[in-house]
Structure 1
Amino acid sequence: MSNLLPSAAPHDLASELLLGMRLVGVQYRRIEVSAPFGLAFGEEPGRAQFHFVARGPVFLRSPDGTVHRLDTSAAVLLPRGGAHHLLSDPEPKHACKDVTTLSATDLCPTVRGCADIGVCHGDSTLVFSGCMEFDLGGMQSLVAAMPEAMLVGTLLERNPELCAMLDAMERESLSPRAGSAGILARLADVVSAFIVRGWVECGCGDATGWVEALRDPRLGKVLVALHREPGRHWTVAELAAQMDSSRSVFAERFLAVTGMTPLRYLTELRMRLAAQWLTRDREPIESVAYKLGYGSLAAFSRAFKRVVGRPPGALRGHAPGETRNAKESTA
């Protein structure tokens, strides 16, 4: 196994987070619509939503009812999706029969790719919208701690390079050319990564629990080690040494922050990675078992079924994200 870096601060953990981040199964739409309108996005379990406003303004009513104004070049990521609306006017007076309403069925059909949806009769609003599986790899549990809506907002002040990316998105949205869908998808990946990193750098808002590790350099070193080498045969003593503490102090701190024992965390991390490698990357079961440190396919299969609730072979042909309701288990 490779050696760890001499030190691993919280920003190293954030780097691990972003390295594992992917937007999977993305369904993009270029939406041009004239006021008054309401764009309704329904519940899509396990699906995130990304919006970029190429020509605004537009108002986002988030799942909890909070309204955010999105001007031209604004971007927002809803990591857990949820029922929300994009509106020409935030006031209820426009919730009437003359409002053009498009449902999630129109905006996120089952086919992948990028298509145009246009309902225009004068000056129009242009939105680039993506519906996708928001995959953070081994750190998927962090999604639950994120706010409902993550806006670019003050990110532009700390990351002026984002302006060039948003400008590029605006140009691609306003003047579609060959390959625009792919370019917009990749730009959305990068902007989403900036949004997530900005949230981490700002202390993860009011989030508690697991994300306390991002604020704790010593515990962060342990999580970085686990995520970098999930197949290593870790012992509690080795992990305590990463934190430079006794086993009892380390185990108590780890349990208090993550809500589980270190070895249980390692097992669940391995099974999350296994599920993704089997479904998303289509890796052979034997290869996954070996990479995660299991000496036999039988041992891996038993651990996988105990955590996920079914054998690894049952995941073949299933889309990423179908294993998220895993059973809780001990390591």
Structure 2
Amino acid sequence: MLDRSSGIQQSPLPDPVSELLMGMRLRGASYSRLRFSAPFGIGFAEAREAWFHFVAAGAAVLKTPSGEMVPVSCGDAVLLPRGGAHAIVSGPGVDIRPFDSYEAVPLCPGICRVDALEEEQCRSRDVLIFTARMQLELDTLHPLIELMPEFLLVSAPTGQQPEVRPLLDAMEREMTGDRAGSASILARLAEVVAVSVIRTWVECGCGDATGWVAALRDARLGRVLAALHRDPGRNWTLVDMAATMGSSRSVFAERFAAATGTTPLRYVASLRMRLAAQWLTRDRLPVEEVAHRLGYQSQAAFSRAYKRVVGTPPGQARKAR
């Protein structure tokens, strides 16, 4: 530890939220290029992944998971981070048909095209949408997903998030230009836009979210949370956590519980089991490897802890898809 008299200026500690967001990644599950003629209604089922939509031409209405009707038009992007069931419709009162019921034509691996057009209609009136289902790989930032609103909208007319506009303009060009390789470029652009939307929401204070985010932004308490999320497999004790915060055990425990609604040790246990469930189901890792990653001395000890927190044995989670 350098002291002030050393003459060497220490780099400031990174903001805990920024530090954790550095590990944020998205993995595209599937992508679709949609072209529809009015009237239409496309229903998107609830998914474990996030839904992302970008309107490249025309205008439509987003029916949110809670039933709110939100107009969207050319240049708008929408992210539904928790994958709630929703629909995109041409207007009120139209029949909604499940997205999966449309015939999809493969364009390249992982990307398809869906057309539902009226032959007599002028093509300039079509609605063109790029849709993606994405896995939000926030890993230990799971609480952040739960705090997000059901949808995040970047609207072209309002000039929101100017740093995202060039990306959306590039998506529009790729969608309407129909050039070679455009599908793959669109997929990559969609991932960057989605991450940027989340980052902007965090930088703007996370909306009305409190509790966990407020704790993370607390200079001393946030230092502890960042350390826990950075190294969940460490054998954390109350003494270790209090020392990281620079306070007594009693003061630390009281402030931690007041901010997060749980005790420090329960928080660590829950964090570990969220990661364990993710590694078992998504990454298909063996139970013994997950136990080792999380610092358990034996597979049996990990299995007991997992069942105590989750309610089912880890082997069952690994079989689930």
TM range (shorter): 0.7 to 0.9
2:30 to 1, 15, 27: 27
Specify the alignment match of 2:271 in structure 1: 269
2:58 to 48, 51, 56: 56
CA contact (8 A) 1:30 1:117 kept: yes
Percent of aligned pairs with the same residue?
A: 51
Q: Which whole-Å CA distance do the structure 2 matches of 1:127 and 1:30 have between them?
A: 6
Look up the SS of the partner of 2:197 in the other structure.
Answer: helix
Indicate the SS of the match to 2:133: strand
Structure 2 counterparts to residues 55-204 of structure 1, below 5 A: 55-89=57-91, 92=92, 95-96=93-94, 101-106=96-101, 113-120=110-117, 121-122=121-122, 123-153=125-155, 160-177=162-179, 179-204=181-206
For 2:185, the aligned partner's letter is I
Flag the 1:45–1:57 CA change in 2: closer, same or farther, 3 A.
closer
| Cα distance change on mapping 1:8 and 1:158 into 2, 3 Å | farther
TM, length-normalised to structure 1: 0.81
Identify the residue that residue 287 of structure 1 maps to in structure 2. 289
- TM-superposition CA deviations, 1:305-330 (whole Å, max 9, x none): 222222223333433xxxxxxxxxxx
Displacement, 1:276? 1.9
Structure 1 distance, partners of 2:320, 2:143, is 20
Question: Contact conserved, 1:13 with 1:223, CA < 8 A, in 2?
Answer: no
Give yes or no for contact 1:254–1:260 (8 Å, CA) kept in 2: yes
The residue that corresponds to 2:6 in the other structure is: none
Does structure 1 conserve the Cα–Cα contact (< 8 Å) formed by 2:35 and 2:115?
yes
Supply the distance in 1 between the matched residues of 2:11 and 2:225 (Cα, whole angstroms): 14
1:251 CA displacement: 0.9
Question: How far 1:105 moved relative to its partner?
Answer: 2.6
The CA deviation string for residues 155-197 of structure 1, in whole angstroms up to 9 with x for no partner, is x968544233222322332244555444323222211111111
TM-score for the superposition, normalised by structure 2: 0.83
Q: Deviations over 1:196-223 (max 9, x none)?
A: 1111111111112222223322211111
Q: Which amino acid aligns with 1:259?
A: G
| Residues 16 and 216, structure 2, Cα contact 8 Å, conserved in 1 | no
- CA separation in 2, counterparts of 1:301 and 1:6? 41
Distance 1:107 1:225 in 2: 47
- 1:63-94 deviation digits (Å, cap 9, x = unpaired): 223333323221110112323222333xx3xx
Distance 1:18 1:148, change over 3 A: farther
2:318 is aligned to 316
CA distance in 2 between counterparts of 1:31 and 1:175 reads 14
* Cα shift readout 1:233-266 (whole Å, capped 9, x = no counterpart): 1111221122222211211121122221111111
Conserved 8 A contact 1:29-1:107: no
How many residues get paired? 304
Tell me what 1:36 maps to: 39
Query: 1:30 deviation in Å?
Result: 1.0
Aligned mates of 2:129, 2:114 — CA distance in 1:
10
Q: Which amino acid aligns with 1:194?
A: S
Contact 1:274 1:288 in 2 (8 A): yes
* Contact 1:31–1:127 under 8 Å retained in 2: yes
Q: CA shift at 1:296, angstroms? A: 1.6
Q: In 2, distance between residues paired with 1:6 and 1:243? A: 18
User: 1:33, CA displacement in angstroms?
Assistant: 0.8
Q: Give me the CA root mean square deviation.
A: 2.8
Instruction: Provide the C-alpha distance between the structure 1 equivalents of 2:238 and 2:102, rounded to a whole number of angstroms.
Output: 48
- Distance in structure 2 (CA, Å) of the matches to 1:147 and 1:258: 19
Shifted more, 284-293 versus 246-255: the winner is 284-293
Whether the aligned pair in 2 keeps the contact of 1:8 and 1:220 (CA below 8 Å) is no
Q: Is the 2:171–2:186 contact (alpha carbons within 8 Å) kept by the matching residues of 1?
A: yes
Q: Could you tell me whether the CA contact under 8 Å between 1:62 and 1:83 is conserved in 2?
A: yes
CA contact (8 A) 2:34 2:113 kept: yes
For the Cα contact (< 8 Å) 1:203–1:215, is it kept in 2? no
**Counterpart residue type for residue 36 of structure 2:** V
CA distance in 1 between counterparts of 2:25 and 2:19 reads 10
**By how many angstroms is 1:60 displaced?**
1.6
Look up the equivalent residue of 2:113 and give its one-letter code: D
